[in-house]
Amino acid sequence: MSQTKCKICQKEFYIRPSRLKIGWGKYCSIKCRNVSQRTGRYLFCAVCKKKIWKTPKEERCSKSGKFFCNKSCQTKWRNKYYSREKHHFWINGKNVYRTIMLEQKDKPVCKKCKVKDVRVLVVHHKDHDRENNKINNLMWLCRNCHHLVHIHDKKV
């Protein structure tokens, strides 16, 4: 048996001379051998900045050039990046009025009956023009009050 050093961890170990002749004996364990064969580099998650390992193939296959530690971080980035004009279903902003209202500091409350349940609240256009999504033209109404305003011409 001859003694040699591991190329990765510098640990001394014994190996048969016959195996040394055929090129073995570079690594003390399978773990060190795998570390030596591993290609890639550490990158940082685009959302939470966590350190992650990516192989060259994973780097090449990224369409956005961004890398994520898990699906949750990827979804957070995608929902933020592909919104409004960048979303593939975007049609001149006709259907973003609810999002515009939710982004405002005003709490969602029906202006008529003061209901606070977001599940029954809808956004009403004061001038009845669905393409006019200016904040001064929008207001929260519950479904019942919205119906009364449109069908029975009740004032808000």
| Residue 86 within any structural domain of the chain | no
- As for how many domains the chain has, the answer is 3
Kindly state whether residues 146 and 97 are assigned to the same domain: yes
Kindly state whether residues 142 and 111 are assigned to the same domain: yes
> How would residue 124 be classed by pLDDT, with cut points 50, 70 and 90?
very high
Q: Which helix (H) or strand (E) holds 4?
A: strand 2-5
| Residue 87 within any structural domain of the chain | no
pLDDT tens, residue by residue, 20-73: 888 888 999 999 888 888 888 999 999 999 999 999 999 999 988 999 999 999
- Total-model pTM: 0.46
Residue-range definition of the domain harbouring residue 98:
92-151
Kindly state whether residues 101 and 144 are assigned to the same domain: yes
| Residue 6 within any structural domain of the chain | yes
